[in-house]
Structure 1
Amino acid sequence: MQAQAVQIKNIEMENLDRYLQSIGTQASLITGFAVTIALSSDLISLTNQSSQLVQFLHYGTIITCLSLEFYCVQNSTLVSVFGPTYALNGPRGSMHSAVKAMKEERMTILYAFGGGAVMFGANVIIVAWLIMRTVSAVLSTLIVLVTGYFISTSAHRIGQKFYLGENMGTDEIKKVKAGEYLDGVRVMETSRGIDERKIERGLNVLRNNSGQSL
């Protein structure tokens, strides 16, 4: 049963690693686009000729986007590197500690990625008004807003479909495995003709040990 628990944790760590690498890759792409916008000489010239409000909105959104996405790239890389390394080379129980820490860090990384994406979309709208005529800018703004709406609703829908609850995870799986194991022991020992009271005492010991290991 202990080997099964370690195997489950290993699978979960691999899943978290793929999760972080995927977010880091997407964040790096957005970072590249944001850098291109921020360093565009034409946009810099147009922005500097605009009002203080437009300059504040343009530079504020693009720099915020860069900061959040770079944070996402850096932290996803660090967690992907140091998490599995600690799990392999750390002390006893390091696998559990590494998976727990990776779970905690992934939400901050995900929020940073989402915030950076929102800032990027806002900057696209501002750039549209800087370089386009009014009709084209209005159309572009509507397209970006509608796209953002569908992205947010689909993300919410997907999150609801795959939501496990705060207390669900490998710990729940291990408890199920432990329950199946104890039921199997009861059936096996009963078939051998062993006293039921002895079986229950032995199962209580197993329950206590499995509860501590979980």
Structure 2
Amino acid sequence: MLSAENVALENRAIRLMLQIREKELNYITNKYNAMGTQAALVGGFAVTTLTSITITENIPFIVRWLFFAFSSISLACCISCILNATFVTVWGPGLALRGPRGSMAKAYYGMVFEQKQVSPGPGPGQG
């Protein structure tokens, strides 16, 4: 009798923990979606800036060079953010749903780890 109650209590605790992890996973997925959308918007501005600006000859060479260099760096960072956000939002929940036992925690910690490359702010539980 005690053994059955112990197993039932363990199963309930695991189920409650998985519900919390699911909420955390949904929060992180929504955060990645928002960051990817913002990066796409800024990347669109960078592409528009690079393709539609007219540079005259009276602007110093170093200013032209800095403008194109920083615009290109901005575009590359936006593309990197979009790719990371897309990969994590597709593969993280997929691993959590279809992975082996313990994959929910593995997906959560993997998504939190990748957050450092996409978002400059601290992750959950980091302040």
Number of aligned positions between the proteins: 115
Pairing 1:25–2:34 present: no
CA RMSD after TM alignment: 2.0
Aligned match of 2:46:
34
TM-fit CA distance, 1:45: 3.0
The partner residue of 1:105 within 84, 104, 114 is 114
TM-fit CA distance, 1:74: 0.9
Structure 2 counterpart SS, 1:45? coil
The partner residue of 1:45 within 46, 51, 55 is 55
Pairing 1:79–2:88 present: yes
Q: Distance in 2 between matches of 1:163 and 1:27?
A: 19
Q: Distance in 2 between matches of 1:102 and 1:164?
A: 11
Q: Distance in 1 between matches of 2:71 and 2:125?
A: 35
TM-fit CA distance, 1:56: 1.6
Pairing 1:14–2:23 present: no
Q: Distance in 2 between matches of 1:107 and 1:163?
A: 8
**Contact 2:95–2:104 at 8 Å: present in 1 too?**
yes
- The letter of the residue matching 2:55 is S
Aligned match of 1:91:
100
Aligned match of 1:138:
none
Q: Distance in 1 between matches of 2:41 and 2:62?
A: 28
Deviations 1:105-146 (A, max 9, x none): 1121114xxxxxxxxxxxxxxxxxxxxxxxxxxxxxxxxxxx
Aligned match of 1:132:
none
Q: Which consecutive residues of structure 1, in runs of 5 or more, have no partner in the other structure?
A: 112-158, 169-214
**Contact 2:43–2:74 at 8 Å: present in 1 too?**
yes
Q: Distance in 2 between matches of 1:77 and 1:55?
A: 33
Give the 3 Å change call, closer, same or farther, for CA 27–163 of structure 1 in structure 2.
closer
TM-fit CA distance, 1:49: 4.7
Higher relative contact order (CA 8 A, sep 6+): 2
Pairing 1:67–2:73 present: no
**Sequence identity percentage:** 32
**Contact 2:112–2:123 at 8 Å: present in 1 too?**
no
Give me the TM-score of the superposition, normalised by structure 2: 0.82
Give the 3 Å change call, closer, same or farther, for CA 30–164 of structure 1 in structure 2.
closer
**Contact 2:115–2:123 at 8 Å: present in 1 too?**
no
Give 1 or 2: higher helix fraction.
Answer: 1
- The letter of the residue matching 1:45 is I
Q: Which runs of 4+ in 1 moved over 6 A?
A: none
Q: Distance in 2 between matches of 1:164 and 1:75?
A: 18
